[in-house]
Amino acid sequence: MDDRPDFKLDAYLVKQGQRGPLCDVRVWLPKQPADDGRMEAQAFGLPVDNELCGSGFSLVNDEEPGFYFEASDILIRSSSTQFGRRVGGTTLEIDHVERLTIRRNLRGGAYHELLSVESATFQLSQVHYAIPSKVWSMDFRGNRDFGHSYSPPRLLVRDLSGEGLALELDRHWNWVDHDDGDTVVARSTPVLVFHDPSNASPAPLNTLRQSARTAALLLSLAARWRVVVHGFHAYFNGVTHEEWDYPLSRVRAANGLEDSREVLVHPSYLENFIQSASSRISSFGESESDAVFLAIYSLHPTVKHSVESRFLALFVALEGLARQFGSANGGMHSIIPALLAAYPPGISGLWPILGEQGLPGLKDLRNELAHGRNFSRRVPGSLSVAEDHLQLWIEYLLLSILDGRAYAHGPNWLARHAIEQRDEMESLRIHLSEAGIRSRS
């Protein structure tokens, strides 16, 4: 197995703008969205008793002509010095790197800060959305069997100033293995691709970054899968710019619908939904945008949650939407009806958010959990059913808020499941009421 590093270089250890010792650095970049990278560093010229550990460090190489390297916000877990070696040095154990940045000047001159972008690709976490999950092959004669041709939709994402940037959802193919016959196995990697129009000014770097992250977030809602931008590769005027977010520990999806493979927004309406939703977001204020983004994050967490903690997180997101898009004043019994009136979700038969006639609503379950009382032991299965319904409330309210109700893929798996649960849901509400968990309205 080839374990050669992608980069071997010298870099200075920097903290709070102060340059420390020179380090010998080796970097192994993540090759696929699910891969972890690796970094090794050895510092030279330190006193024997000088230990380097903690967070806030950077490794920077900015002296080599035409090349720039920075690993920022590094957490050094420990440092150790081995004696008796011909060349001494302190080995640094690195556990976290927030961002890895590399710039090259292809024309050989000094590197410069990349402020505008002519073309760029954003590598995404693996998402089973408008991208075939089937493994393709190529026979030994070079005939590629890619099935039906596929033209990726152009995703028009608007930035906060309302300007449009066309990002294409594309896929890159990599030959990864041989099978038992005369074929080569290929795997696709989803990317967002930006090509600057020839008659327009290059896109500002920060605007493009934000637009790509907005597109990934909207894809998360549409695909029911946490979509994260892992790698960013850009070009302008002979300079390439590459970034990896959290390269040593990738952000991975942890939502519970990974095996359903069924989306919230119909694939044929993906382009229309992204255009509509990004246009709506560009008209929001900061608080409204935050409420929408946090609601999508709550639907697709990056780490595994208990059912109790996820229910609470979902309800907090629902309350945030209600306060921003329903009414900023009053309690839940006023802001929830205001939200539903302003943005009808267009789905019926769900567990009511507010209880009635003594039967508990989702709000009553939230209150029980918030006060440390776990009712799921007394009424088994109640919390998992309630969580499914709470997720649907948030998903369809977000579609309504983002002008995307017409693009819902229905009836999707979770909506059908909730309809089938209706009799069970009513029975669970009665059992909860008998166990002392009633509507307080």
- DSSP states along 37-54: -EEEEEE-S--TT----E
Instruction: Give the residue ranges of DSSP H helices in 185-343.
Output: 205-223, 270-282, 286-299, 307-325, 332-342
The pLDDT assigned to 289 comes to: 93
Residue 86 half-sphere exposure toward CB, CA atoms < 13 A:
0
Beta bridge partners of 24: 10, 42
Among 200, 212, 209, 136, smallest CA distance to 172 is for 136
The pLDDT assigned to 114 comes to: 77
Residues of the chain under the 70 pLDDT cut: 1-2, 47-50, 82-88, 108, 128-153, 159-163, 171-188, 197-200, 251-261, 302-303, 441
| Distance, CA of 441 to CA of 438 (rounded, Å) | 9
Q: Say which residues have a Cβ less than 8 Å from residue 133's Cβ, sequence separation at least 6.
A: 261
CA distances from 327 to 125, 281, 317, 393, 422 (A): 36, 19, 15, 17, 30
Q: Is 314 strand, coil or helix? A: helix
**pTM across the whole model:** 0.82
At residue 7, what is the residue type? F
| Distance, CA of 345 to CA of 298 (rounded, Å) | 18
| Distance, CA of 40 to CA of 391 (rounded, Å) | 42
Say if residue 267 is preceded by a cis peptide, omega within 30 of 0.
Answer: no
| Distance separating the N- and C-terminal Cα atoms of the chain | 66
* Phi/psi of residue 71, nearest 5 degrees: -105, 110
Q: What is the largest CA-CA distance in the chain?
A: 81
The pLDDT assigned to 224 comes to: 85
| Distance, CA of 231 to CA of 237 (rounded, Å) | 20
The pLDDT assigned to 174 comes to: 60
Q: Is 344 strand, coil or helix? A: coil
Q: Decide: 359 and 425 in contact? Cβ < 8 Å.
A: no
Beta bridge partners of 234: 120, 241
Token readout for 232 is 């960013």
CA distances from 264 to 18, 258, 261, 415, 429 (A): 49, 13, 10, 9, 27
Among 392, 314, 401, 398, smallest CA distance to 348 is for 392
| Distance, CA of 257 to CA of 419 (rounded, Å) | 17
Rg (CA), the chain: 26
The pLDDT assigned to 344 comes to: 95
At residue 337, what is the residue type? P
Exposed, middle or buried, 21 (CB in 10 Å: 0-12/13-18/19+)?
middle
Token readout for 187 is 């795997």
| Distance, CA of 383 to CA of 391 (rounded, Å) | 12
Q: Decide: 254 and 303 in contact? Cβ < 8 Å.
A: yes
